[in-house]
Structures are given as structure tokens and as C-alpha cells.
Amino acid sequence: MGLAARRVEPPVRAKRAQLTLVTPAPRARSRPDLEAKARARASAARARVMFWVFVSVLGVSVALGGVRVAVIAQATRISMDESRLQAAIQAQRFEAGQLEVDHSALSSPSRIASIASGKMKMKAATSVRYITLPAVAPGKKSGTTVALAGKGGSGFLGAFGALVQMSAGQAQSLLVGDLGLAGSR
């Protein structure tokens, strides 16, 4: 079997026609053509102006919206702080009221008398005597204080001074409580 016969021909170039350069004749511009271009330029200028006006109005609107949101956020924060402070004030007032009730209950004379008689085995005084000390000029020390304190006194005055100091300490602890004891130490 053989191959099919083929014909081989040399390539032929087609001849082109000679082209010549033709310059266009200068046209005279007509009046309607100039007016159309002027209208187009004016329209483009108006469009640019409208675009910049729109962008400016949009920028101002965004800025005002941002300011409005910032003011609302600040007002909300202040409102939340105010409500939190109101709650704290109410809690402090309630606690102050409770402390006043506790103070009045703890400092009542009947409570002090019951503690004195129950825990300290004290009895009501049958008679009351007052000691009046002479007034001391400023800068001078009284000898009576030393004698009543029982530190250097002997006999009756020393024992009486020690008894007065002990009674004063007990009365202070009853009236003031633990704070009175801490303050006297």
C-alpha cells in the first residue's frame, strides 16, 4: 500500500495594491458644532460641581451622625454611672440605718444594767456620792490625781485610787465595748 499522491506547489504571493496616503482636507468648523462642545463642557462642569456638593453633604452628614452617636454613648454611660451611684447611696443609707438601730440597742441603759448585773455581778448603788476636785490652773499638776491613782499612795487613799481606776475601766468597757478597751491600752 502506498501513500496518496500529493502535489507540492511553490507558495505564490498575492500582489497588493499600492496604498497612497490621503490627507483630509481641513474642515471648517460649523457654529452648531462649537455650541455642542460648549454645552458638553458646561454639562460636565455642572456634573463635577454636583458631585462635589454631594460628597460634601455626605461628609457633613457622616460627621454629624458620628457626633450624635458619641453624645448618645456619653449620655448612656453617665446614666449608667448615675444609677450605679444611686444604688450605692441607697445601700449606704440602709447600712447607716441598721447601724443606728444596732447602736441604740447596744447602748440602752437596760442592756448595760443587765450585763453589769449578770456578767460582772454588780448591784445597783444604794447611795451616790460625788467627788469634787478643786480647779487646777493650767500648767500645774494636781497632787490629788497622783493620790487617787494609787501609784504612790499608801493605805486608804491608795486602795481607794485603785478601786476608782478599776471601776472606771469596767464602766468604760461596758459603755463603749471592745473599742473602749482598745483605746485605753
pLDDT tens across 133-150, in order? 777 766 665 554 444 444
Residues 94 and 60 reside in one and the same domain:
yes
Measured in whole angstroms, the distance separating CA 126 from the mean position of its chain's CA atoms is 62
Residues 184 and 115 reside in one and the same domain:
yes
139 within a domain of the structure (yes/no): no
What's this model's pTM, rounded to 2 decimal places?
Answer: 0.37
In the chain, the percentage of residues whose pLDDT exceeds 90 is 33
- Between CA 35 and CA 41 the distance in angstroms is 10
Residues 52 and 115 reside in one and the same domain:
no
| Residue 2 pLDDT | 66
Residue with cell 494609787: 150
Residues 69 and 50 reside in one and the same domain:
yes
| Residue 141 pLDDT | 58
- Between CA 171 and CA 176 the distance in angstroms is 8
Q: Which domain holds residue 77?
A: 34-106
Residues 115 and 102 reside in one and the same domain:
no
Torsion 61-64-69-72 (CA) sign: negative
| Residue 180 pLDDT | 45
Grid cell listed for 80:
449608667
Grid cell listed for 100:
443606728
Q: Which residue has the higher pLDDT, 126 or 53?
A: 53
- Between CA 130 and CA 164 the distance in angstroms is 12
- pLDDT, averaged across the chain: 80
Residues 91 and 119 reside in one and the same domain:
no
Q: How far apart, in Å, are the Cα atoms of 91 and each of 77, 79, 101, 105, 144?
A: 21, 18, 15, 21, 51
Question: Of 100-109, 127-136, 144-153, where does mean pLDDT reach its minimum?
Answer: 144-153
71 within a domain of the structure (yes/no): yes
48 within a domain of the structure (yes/no): yes
pLDDT at 92 over 80: yes
Instruction: Collapse the DSSP code of 91 into the 3-class scheme (helix H, G, I; strand E, B; otherwise coil) and give the result.
Output: helix
Q: What is the mean pLDDT of residues 21-27?
A: 77
6 within a domain of the structure (yes/no): no
Residues 93 and 118 reside in one and the same domain:
no
142 within a domain of the structure (yes/no): no
DSSP state, residue 152: S
The domain boundary, picked from 106, 132, 161, lies at 106
Grid cell listed for 124:
445597783
- Between CA 44 and CA 38 the distance in angstroms is 10
Residues 179 and 116 reside in one and the same domain:
yes
| Residue 183 pLDDT | 47
Q: What is the mean pLDDT of residues 33-56?
A: 92
Residues 161 and 118 reside in one and the same domain:
yes
| Residue 134 pLDDT | 78
- How many domains does one find in the chain? 2
Could you tell me the pLDDT band of residue 42, with boundaries at 50, 70 and 90? very high
The domain boundary, picked from 106, 134, 162, lies at 106
163 within a domain of the structure (yes/no): yes
The domain boundary, picked from 77, 106, 135, lies at 106
Measured in whole angstroms, the distance separating CA 92 from the mean position of its chain's CA atoms is 18
Q: How far apart, in Å, are the Cα atoms of 57 and each of 53, 60, 61, 62?
A: 6, 5, 6, 9
Q: Which residue has the higher pLDDT, 98 or 122?
A: 98
In the chain, the percentage of residues whose pLDDT exceeds 70 is 78
62 within a domain of the structure (yes/no): yes
